[in-house]
Structure 1
Amino acid sequence: MTPFKLTEELIAQIEELIENQRDTELNSLLGDVHYADIAEIINELNEDEATYLIKLLDSHKTSDVLTELDEDVREAILGNLSSKEIADELGELDTDDAADIIGELPQEMIQQVISEIEDREHAKDIVDLLRYDENSAGGLMAKELVKVRENWNVLTCVKEMRAQAENVTRVHSIYVVDEEDKLIGRLSLKDLLTTSTKTHIKDVYIAKVDSVNVNEKPEEVAKIMSKYDLEAIPVVDEIGRLVGRITIDDIVDVIREEADKDYQMAAGISQDVEADDGVWELTRARLPWLILGLFGGLGAAAIMGGFEEMIAKHAVLFFFTPLIAAMAGNVGVQSSAIIVQGLANDDLKGSISNRLVKEMLLALLNGVILATILLLFTWVWQGAFLSSLAISISLIAVIVVAGFIGTFIPLFLHKRGIDPAIATGPFITTSNDIFGILIYFMIAKLILGI
């Protein structure tokens, strides 16, 4: 199968077909195209063209297309559809995707759309999902699953599974519940196929099953599923009743969104933005950290002003100021990035003190190696051993302090329930610039005796 490739020629062809309302050719052209590729096409069309295409194509396909669209594009399209048309689209989706889309609608329209959904059980499940916080396992789960009761025999179990599976896109697991719908285990398909039809499920099910509470954070769900290589995980309420399941495709979205957020935070962007957002939105996201950097630079300049006399006597110190600041920032970012990654993946082992000692020893080793190279270079270049020694010793001290700050701050923030990703990038760079410059000139003053 040839991979889909979006080209300007294809977009132009589709725009021409829409303009001339050549519906048969459009259906023929896009009939075998994957819904994710159609979403990519629609993202490139204007609002009217996108709406026309959604209304033209079969709702079985366009319902999936809606889940793949950029949020602003989807919002514009939904604004051009009637309550009945939106309900038809939602009727084809799993409950978690339907709840996500309907949650984006204006409050006054939500009830209208729900009342238009023909499958009342499907509508009830969507309403049930809407009551959960979107940043929880309940807000992430789908209601579609296959469950059997422990007191059924295998024959009854198979009949019930056939009926339930009609509404499930993919059957990852078969869950076993008691009379109160409390999750008690899972059922192996192999055991089901190789067991007598008269055998009761309670005699063959597997009691061990991983599950999460409806109030669990999506990030924690992602860690559990990643750790145990799960394709799906059941969700239970406060009293242990099975209420839904979360599948791997939803977790991939969580991981991607979390990675995007952490990357932006590390780059000094304070809120979730995209490249296509307006100038004002991008400015608001970037400006706070740029202001922090500005004040950090002013602080460093003020510190240097306090050592003006020393700089005048030993001008070589001034030449190496950018190097000291850069090394402090680089080491701090490296240390914090490793810690943040370890916290995100739940890979950090041992106590905080052991981690700090390890990072400081690592910084000390790197500092000594770099300082030795710098000492030889500066001595040969300037011929002033004392100044070269002051610069080199300062570099060691700055690197060790930067390693400590880069390690301690994300660990401290994590303990306080604050996203440690905020510690990387501009925050660490600015703080280490200030401390680095201060340490640099204080050690130089001590060694040079000024």
Structure 2
Amino acid sequence: MNKEEIEDKVKSLIEDKDSENVKELLNGLHPADIAELCNDLDTEDARFIYLLLDNETAADVLIEMDEDARKRFLDLLPSETIAKKFVDYMDTDDAVDIIREMDEEKQEEILSHIEDIEQAGDIVDLLKYDENTAGGLMGTEMVVVNENWSMPECLKEMRLQAEEMDEIYYVYVVDDDERLRGVFPLKKMITSPSVSKVKHVMKKDPISAHVDTKIEEVVQLIEKYDLVAVPVVDSIGRLVGRITVDDVMDEVREQAERDYQLASGLSQDVETDDSLMRQTTARLPWLLIGMIGGIGNSMILGNFDSTFAMHPEMALYIPLIGGTGGNVGTQSSAIVVQGLANSSLDSSNTWKQIIKEAIVALINATIISMLVYIYNFVRFGANNTISYSVSISLFAVVMFASIFGTLVPMTLDRLKIDPAIATGPFISITNDIIGMLVYMSITVLLS
């Protein structure tokens, strides 16, 4: 059955209170598929489903749900149920993500009902970190061995620790002070069973992140060194957690969505199923700014009535000037924002990038302005003012838009403001207004 058929079948079974058949249907689904199903059901139907799941599956499903649907669902449940049915069966990083969404009072209530005191303590510690740092994203579940252990002792301890974990990516080696010293290669456990100490076979100086490292930098570490997990250390080098690739992929997706929405002129994160009010408030600010920009443009054009009277054909090229400037500026800013995001570009090299962009703009501006001049030459003749003013204006607008589209995001990045703001309406509106000013001024000078 496809998704729609499963959803219709589940709704029908829930209406009939047929728990057995609902449970049988859910047994064949992955937690992510059940979560997707719960996202589309109303809260009471989702609650009916959760009561039929075993605790581990219920916890996995909750993690996979959309934030808004999950919040609505958790608001109906008492803190004790959330703690004992969900949090007790989650890794600490997932539990922190769930608890962080709630107010402080409910957080404290949930933490008081967690049976594993050590897990509750780890969650409390993780909640102290900024959610946009490695400390806020890491989990504490990992296999850790001491560099001075013998191989038999190491194997015994690894088996004990592995029983409490779903996945094992790396085995980390620490010293007596819990400082990260290396990674224990599992292959060595088979090929070198007679080696006396772990420190003799471990890989020293592993790639790691600090608790205050930004998530974007953690993503770059994983991508650059092809890792599936990154150990996290505190200010004195003690191993405090690890971040897995699945954790950062969620963050990468969310960041990409935020950047795309900023570039599209949305002032906050929105989903297709959000309320009308939320979608309106997310879109309206930039639309109002665009409206003000349009009014500014009309005021500029209104001051050149006499010029339009002399050269009525000028109006034909207003969309060309404004559209070209907006497109060029958006292209330039998008390239810069992408470079800043993947660290292939540094905001400290602003002038170097501006010079490079200016050279590219010079080539593009020359080609575009020459093509338009040839078109106008054929249409209006060599002595027509518009033949010259449109081409010169296009050349100036492309040069300005390229440099402006490069300078703005790099400046925003140096000011610690998300440069993705510069790839959207901000660039288009600014270039449109400047383009009109340039076009009108050059036409007046040539008249």
- TM-score, with normalisation over the residues of structure 2? 0.95
Aligned residues: 444
Q: 1:79 to 1:416 in 2, by over 3 A?
A: closer
2: CA distance, partners of 1:58 / 1:206? 40
Q: Deviations over 1:289-347 (max 9, x none)?
A: 11221221222222222222122111111221121011111111111111111111111
1: CA distance, partners of 2:48 / 2:183? 45
1:115 and 2:120 aligned? no
In the alignment, which residue of structure 1 is the partner of 2:97? 100
In the alignment, which residue of structure 1 is the partner of 2:270? 273
In the alignment, which residue of structure 2 is the partner of 1:367? 365
In the alignment, which residue of structure 2 is the partner of 1:259? 256
- CA contact 1:142–1:245 (8 Å) conserved in 2: yes
Which residue of the other structure, out of 45, 57, 65, is the alignment partner of 1:61?
Answer: 57
2: CA distance, partners of 1:267 / 1:129? 34
Q: Which moved more, 1:349-358 or 1:137-146?
A: 349-358
In the alignment, which residue of structure 1 is the partner of 2:239? 242
SS, match of residue 204 in structure 2: coil
1: CA distance, partners of 2:358 / 2:388? 21
2: CA distance, partners of 1:235 / 1:163? 22
What percentage of aligned pairs have identical amino acids? 46
SS, match of residue 16 in structure 1: helix
Q: Which moved more, 1:111-120 or 1:87-96?
A: 111-120
Q: Deviations over 1:397-428 (max 9, x none)?
A: 11111111111111111111111111111000
- TM-score, with normalisation over the residues of structure 1? 0.95
**Aligned pairs (5 A) from 1:15-414:** 15-87=11-83, 88-197=85-194, 199-348=196-345, 351-383=349-381, 384-414=383-413
Letter of the aligned partner of 2:430 in structure 1? S
SS, match of residue 168 in structure 2: coil
Q: Deviations over 1:103-143 (max 9, x none)?
A: 22343333332233233322222222222222211110001
**How far has the Cα of 1:41 moved from its partner?**
0.9
SS, match of residue 347 in structure 1: coil
2: CA distance, partners of 1:345 / 1:24? 50
- CA contact 2:134–2:232 (8 Å) conserved in 1: yes
- CA contact 1:153–1:197 (8 Å) conserved in 2: no
In the alignment, which residue of structure 2 is the partner of 1:424? 423
2: CA distance, partners of 1:117 / 1:197? 42
- Unpaired runs of 5+ residues, structure 1, are none
In the alignment, which residue of structure 1 is the partner of 2:446? 447
- CA contact 2:162–2:168 (8 Å) conserved in 1: yes
Letter of the aligned partner of 1:363 in structure 2? A
- CA contact 1:155–1:198 (8 Å) conserved in 2: no
Q: 1:198 to 1:320 in 2, by over 3 A?
A: closer
Letter of the aligned partner of 2:425 in structure 1? P
Q: 1:389 to 1:240 in 2, by over 3 A?
A: same
Q: Which moved more, 1:192-201 or 1:60-69?
A: 192-201
Q: Deviations over 1:158-207 (max 9, x none)?
A: 11111111122211111111111011111111122222345111222111
Q: Which moved more, 1:368-377 or 1:29-38?
A: 368-377
1: CA distance, partners of 2:393 / 2:246? 51
- CA contact 2:143–2:162 (8 Å) conserved in 1: yes
SS, match of residue 240 in structure 2: strand
- CA contact 2:385–2:443 (8 Å) conserved in 1: no
- CA contact 1:138–1:235 (8 Å) conserved in 2: yes
SS, match of residue 320 in structure 1: helix
Letter of the aligned partner of 1:236 in structure 2? V
SS, match of residue 3 in structure 2: coil
**How far has the Cα of 1:228 moved from its partner?**
1.2
Letter of the aligned partner of 1:78 in structure 2? L
1: CA distance, partners of 2:402 / 2:195? 66
1: CA distance, partners of 2:14 / 2:405? 56
2: CA distance, partners of 1:351 / 1:43? 45
Letter of the aligned partner of 2:29 in structure 1? V
1: CA distance, partners of 2:229 / 2:216? 15
**How far has the Cα of 1:52 moved from its partner?**
1.0
Letter of the aligned partner of 1:111 in structure 2? E
**How far has the Cα of 1:366 moved from its partner?**
1.3
SS, match of residue 51 in structure 2: helix
- CA contact 1:214–1:235 (8 Å) conserved in 2: yes
- Unpaired runs of 5+ residues, structure 2, are none
Q: Which moved more, 1:230-239 or 1:19-28?
A: 19-28
1: CA distance, partners of 2:434 / 2:112? 62
- CA contact 1:328–1:432 (8 Å) conserved in 2: yes
SS, match of residue 206 in structure 2: coil
Q: Which moved more, 1:226-235 or 1:292-301?
A: 292-301
Q: Deviations over 1:200-235 (max 9, x none)?
A: 112221112111111111112111111111110001
Which stretches of structure 1, 4 residues or more, deviate above 4 A after TM superposition? none
